[in-house]
Amino acid sequence: MKYLSILWILFLCVCCRPKSGADDAVSVRQTAFVYPEIPDTITDSLHRRAFLVRHFWDVYDFSDTSLLSRPDISEQGFVNYLYLLSASEREERQASIDSFIKRSDSCSLALDYFLDLTDRYLYGSASPMHDEDCYVMLASAFMKSKSVPRDKKAMLDNRIKHILKNKVGTPANNFTFVTSGGTHLSLYDVGASRLLLFFYEMGCDTCMAQIAGLRYIPAVSQKVKAGELRVLAVCLSGDEKQWKAHAQWMPGQWIMAYDEEKTISRDSLYDFKTLPSVYLLDADKKVILKDETVHGLTRYLKDANK
């Protein structure tokens, strides 16, 4: 999908809208997403954006299921919609989302289609548009629809509960662990100006490759050496003897931890879409990065140095 700027979307609203007549409108719908016509009396860019996000789906025909097989129309339109939502005030977002769900609710196929796109673009941690706040707003609206099956509503409810745990800016959930040296500690026992939590499992090839490579990332190793960052690598499961043997090969400055009681997984203390998973905490153990990838962590640390 193409990721368009908001100014470009506003420009398309002028260029890619029906000129006149119903036949022309039908023709446009078959070749491109049709944006609502913004009144010429609205000249302020913020007001034009607010109008657009509120009326974004006014022209889209949710009953025409053939549009769902046209990603250049339906999917691209949805991607542009998400960009507008991300730049909108919360009240504008909510009003727009409520209108969108009400319209899509008229066709269960369309509703299911846009629910899948919501998962792909907003929930997936690898998506460049990953946005948990926007996902919660959309997922909550989908849950109010009578057309969404109970099992999907249960899935959405479970995801929302997980997302609300350890939100960025809130204190991280505490947990206990044993170190490779046999010391029992809790998360809040570890003092650090910045604390990197690396959650992994023994037997996970991707986990093993990334934890081995983490020490060679300059953005990480330099901060660890300077005392600006501590690494707490938490093994969630796997053979404990194998973990101890593996821990010996890790950098001495790292804290190699093992969740003996399996409380992190059992009590769902943290949200993991996949492993390994990275969290970054500040000195007060408030979350800076949540369920991030190593690549995302590296990008954040590099940008922080600029």
Tokens in use for 100?
């969108």
**pLDDT tens sequence across 27-61:** 444 578 999 999 999 999 999 999 999 999 999 99
pLDDT at 148: 94
Q: Are strands 277-282 and 287-292 parallel, antiparallel or unpaired?
A: antiparallel
**pLDDT tens sequence across 265-274:** 999 999 888 8
Tell me how far apart the terminal alpha carbons of the chain are, to the nearest angstrom: 30
Confidence of residue 8 (pLDDT cuts 50, 70, 90): very low
Half-sphere exposure (Cβ direction) of 277: Cα atoms closer than 13 Å:
17
Report d(CA 179, CA 240) in Å as an integer: 11
pLDDT at 306: 63
Residue 113: pLDDT over 90 = yes
Residue 65: pLDDT over 90 = yes
293 contacts: CB under 8 Å, gap ≥ 6 = 125, 126, 278
**pLDDT tens sequence across 123-182:** 987 788 989 999 999 999 999 999 999 999 999 999 999 899 999 999 999 999 999 999
- 29-35 long-range contacts, Cβ below 8 Å, gap at least 24? 29/59, 29/61, 29/64, 29/67, 29/73, 31/73, 32/72, 32/73, 33/60, 33/73, 33/74, 33/76, 33/77, 33/80, 34/59, 34/60, 35/9, 35/59
Q: What is the mean pLDDT of residues 5-21?
A: 50
Of how many residues is the chain composed? 306
pLDDT at 17: 53
Helices (H) and strands (E) in the chain, counts: 13, 7
% of the chain at pLDDT higher than 90: 80
Residue 221: pLDDT over 90 = yes
pLDDT at 124: 82
Sign of CA dihedral 183, 189, 192, 196: positive
19 contacts: CB under 8 Å, gap ≥ 6 = none
> Looking up tokens 């879409």, which residue turns up?
273
Report d(CA 224, CA 95) in Å as an integer: 46
Residue 11: pLDDT over 60 = no
pTM: 0.75
Residue 299: pLDDT over 50 = yes
pLDDT at 22: 42
Report d(CA 95, CA 141) in Å as an integer: 11
Smallest CA-to-CA distance from 295 within 183, 213, 201, 225 is with 213
pLDDT at 238: 85
